């Protein structure tokens, strides 16, 4: 689907009016070096099948494979920095023009850019949860424990640059010999605090996002193909209430037929231009991005 006429102008007008709900997807983080699942902004496709909740909880070997791959991938995720798109979204929020941000991403880059009202629909790789006592802890703490438990394996992995998958693990087939650690409090199984395939988003979180969209003046989708229902349902909900839906994404999306306006363009430059039009930028860099107050 081609961009609708004056679509960027409609985007500026929507944010100028304020009270905009934002739904962001993996396409917003590709300029930070984190690949997405599909679409022109992320030509990299996932290598291998993603971990399912059922496999993770039902198999020691599956957990070993996951944590070995995720342990390497974590270095890439934690080393990623917010890009111009994240900074523009944070500036819009600081200006009081966004009602809230729903993100399908698990990388924490919205918060790293300074955004506050962020609902992490699928959780965050920066936290770990115990499946027995439900205690949550920082991923940095687990990373230190895994390094200590796997000195030879970690040393052997230094210098490896396997392909990073969108969900933060890496394409690594040999994971034998990796030692998995358990919860310090109760000895239970540790899992990243993210929603795996085959697992449901918590009901309260889903309903909170529906309420945010219901009260918004517009829903703006940033960098999501809307292929999975967890994001598409909010587009359908907004449309059913007559709330304008604006989509900024490279490539077509599953919600295009419901969109009031579409901008098919890179997220960083488009959102930087949006911030400039809204008067939120105070300094332009050589790459065209703005220092956003």
Q: Which residues are catalytic?
A: 122
**Residues facing 76 on adjacent strands:** none
HSE toward the beta carbon, residue 279, CA cutoff 13 A:
5
Contact present, 98 and 154 (Cβ < 8 Å): no
Residues 37, 198: Cα–Cα separation, whole Å = 17
DSSP state string for 142-194: HHHHHHHH-HHHHHHHTT--PPBPTTS-B-----TTPPP---TTT-PPEEEEE
Q: What is the DSSP letter of 178?
A: P
Residues 246, 243: Cα–Cα separation, whole Å = 10
């Amino acid at each position: 689907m081609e961009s609708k006429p004056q679509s960027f102008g409609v985007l500026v007008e929507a944010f100028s009016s304020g009270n905009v709900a934002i739904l962001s997807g993996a396409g917003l983080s590709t300029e930070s070096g984190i690949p997405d699942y599909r679409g022109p902004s992320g030509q990299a496709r996932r290598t291998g099948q993603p971990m399912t909740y059922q496999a993770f909880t039902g198999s020691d070997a599956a957990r070993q494979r996951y944590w070995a791959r995720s342990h390497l991938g974590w270095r890439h995720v934690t080393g990623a920095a917010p890009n111009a798109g994240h900074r523009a979204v944070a500036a819009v929020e600081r200006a009081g023009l966004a009602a809230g941000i729903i993100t399908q991403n698990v990388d924490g880059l919205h918060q790293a850019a300074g955004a506050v009202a962020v609902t992490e629909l699928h959780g965050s790789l920066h936290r770990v949860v115990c499946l027995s006592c439900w205690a949550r802890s920082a991923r940095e703490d687990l990373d230190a424990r895994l390094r200590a438990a796997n000195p030879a394996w970690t040393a052997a992995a230094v210098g490896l640059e396997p392909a990073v998958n969108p969900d933060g693990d890496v394409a690594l087939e040999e994971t034998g010999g990796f030692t998995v650690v358990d919860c310090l409090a109760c000895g239970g199984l540790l899992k990243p605090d993210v929603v795996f395939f085959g697992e449901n988003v918590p009901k309260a979180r889903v309903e909170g996002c529906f309420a945010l969209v219901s009260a918004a003046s517009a829903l703006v989708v940033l960098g999501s193909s809307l292929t999975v229902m967890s994001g598409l349902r909010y587009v359908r909900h907004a449309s059913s209430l007559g709330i304008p839906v604006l989509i900024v994404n490279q490539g077509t999306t599953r919600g295009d037929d419901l969109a009031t306006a579409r901008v098919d363009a890179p997220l960083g430059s488009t959102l930087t231009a949006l911030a400039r039009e809204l008067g939120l930028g105070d300094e332009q860099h050589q790459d065209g991005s703005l220092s956003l107050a």
